Every structure is written in structure tokens, then in C-alpha cells.
Structure 1
Amino acid sequence: MAGCACAAIWIGDPTEPGSMLPPCPTKALLGIDCPGCGSLRMLYSLMHGDLLAALRFNAVGVVAVGLLVWAFGAWTYGRFSGRGMRSWQNYRWSAMIALVVVTVWFIIRNLPIAPFASLYV
């Protein structure tokens, strides 16, 4: 499934205006960036090896992708080695920290003052 999504993003090229991929509904309806705005462009940039562009489109998304890769690696290692391996998502505070980070990201990327105005995509 993830491979199909990546293929659609690769073919759709969300960095071009008028892309076949849909725009963010929050941005289209309310005119503000949601925490996930820029994620398609961020993934497209990551797939093309452009880390700086990916960070510009959605910095928190790049960190989230890194954490997901880490979690998948830990799970895969545990399956192949036959031993369970604890990772970041197994701690009880992980969900609360993720919620706080996403909420703060949502607020600061919509502030119309410098340097936060540059986070608006």
C-alpha cells in the first residue's frame, strides 16, 4: 500500500502547480496550513533525495518519517531475531509528546510574524 502511495506521489509530482493530486482540504477551505500541509511535497522531495526541500515543505513530517522508519526497523529486527525490541512508540509518553509537537507545529506554522511566516507553504 505504501508503495502504491509513493508511486502516485512520484507520478503526480505535487511540487508542480495543477498537479493531479488533491490539495489539502484545510488549506482549500480555511486558508491555513494544517500540521500535514506540504506532506505530499515533502515525500516527493525525500524520494528524490532533496532533504532541504523536504524540510522546507514539512519539517515535522520529515522527523515523523524518520521515527516511522526507526520503528519499522526495530519491528523487523525483532521479527527476524525472534526477540522483541522496544522502540520509541512503546513508551507511555510517546503519544502525548506526539500530540503536543503536532499542536505546536500547527500553531507556529500559521503565525504571520517572522521567522514563523516562512513555515507557511
Structure 2
Amino acid sequence: MRHYLKKLDKRILIGLGVVGAGVFYLKVLAPTFHIHIPCPFKHVTGFDCPGCGMTRLTLSLLEGDVYQAFRYNSLLFVLIPFFILYYTLLSKGKKKSSDYVLYGMLVMTIVFGVLRNTPMFSFLAPTTI
């Protein structure tokens, strides 16, 4: 049991470190030095990838603006409950069921990426700054 707690503590510390580094980048480095993460997919194809708008979404969430965060990339809000379900099933040893959820999330991500680049579903594209 003790070994498990040490391993859990290490994962929590690493996660907090990654989150802290991300917040430092988004709130200090990016605005000060105008360093932004370009999307290679959009640069090459001209289309929005399923992750386009995630940096702006994160900044909006840090400022407490959930509505604008949703407008930047609604996919994250749809995937969070499925990710929780996936992790719960995986932790209970239900590998086959968790795999179905994982494949479902992959399909949702691909469909979202295609739809947000069609005129009929242009409301899924990230809003402009």
C-alpha cells in the first residue's frame, strides 16, 4: 500500500508541475514574448484540426470564461465525460469496454475535425480573437 501511495504522489507532483509550466507559459511567456504555438496541420492544409483553439480555450478557462472557452473548442467539453468513463472502466479492469470508449472518442474527434471545416457546421470552428 505504501508503494502505491508513493507512486501516486509522484504522479500528482509531475501533473502539478506540468500544469504549472503550462500556466506559466500561457500567462507569462506567451503574452510577454508573443510566443504562440502554431498549428502545423492548419499551416499545411489551411483547415482547422480538432485541437485548434485549445490554447485560447485554456486561457479562457484560466480567466473563468467558460462560455468563450466552449466557443473556442467544444470538443473538449464533450470528451471529458467519456474520458472519465474510460478511466473508470480501465481502473476496474474492464479493458474491452474501455477500449470501446477510447475508439468512440477517436471517432468523435475525427468527425468533429471534419465537420468544423464544412460550411454547414462552421459554428464548430474556433471563434476569432
Q: Is the 8 A contact 1:109 1:117 kept in 2?
A: yes
Query: What amino acid is aligned across from residue 102 of structure 1 in structure 2?
Result: T
Alpha-carbon deviation of 1:67? 5.8
Q: Is the 8 A contact 2:79 2:105 kept in 1?
A: no
DSSP-derived class of the 2:41 partner: helix
Alignment counterpart, residue 41 of structure 1, candidates 32, 39, 56: 56
What root-mean-square deviation, in Å, do the aligned CA atoms of Structure 1 and Structure 2 show?
3.0
Q: Is the 8 A contact 1:36 1:58 kept in 2?
A: yes
Give unpaired runs (5+ residues) of structure 2.
1-17
1:13-58 deviations in Å (ceiling 9; x for gaps): 5xxxx94112211112211000100000011111111011110000
Q: Is the 8 A contact 1:42 1:53 kept in 2?
A: yes
How many residues align? The count is 104
Between structures 1 and 2, the one with greater helix share: 2
- Pair 1:103-2:85 in alignment: no
Q: Residues 96 and 31 (structure 1 numbering): CA distance in 2 closer, same or farther, change over 3 Å?
A: same
Q: Give the Cα–Cα distance (whole angstroms) in 2 for the partners of residues 19 and 87 of structure 1.
A: 45
Matched with 2:125 is 120
Query: What amino acid is aligned across from residue 94 of structure 1 in structure 2?
Result: V
DSSP-derived class of the 2:26 partner: helix
- Taking only the aligned residue pairs, the percentage that are identical comes to 28
Matched with 1:80 is none
Give unpaired runs (5+ residues) of structure 1.
75-84
User: How high is the TM-score relative to the length of structure 1?
Assistant: 0.69
Alpha-carbon deviation of 1:3? 1.7
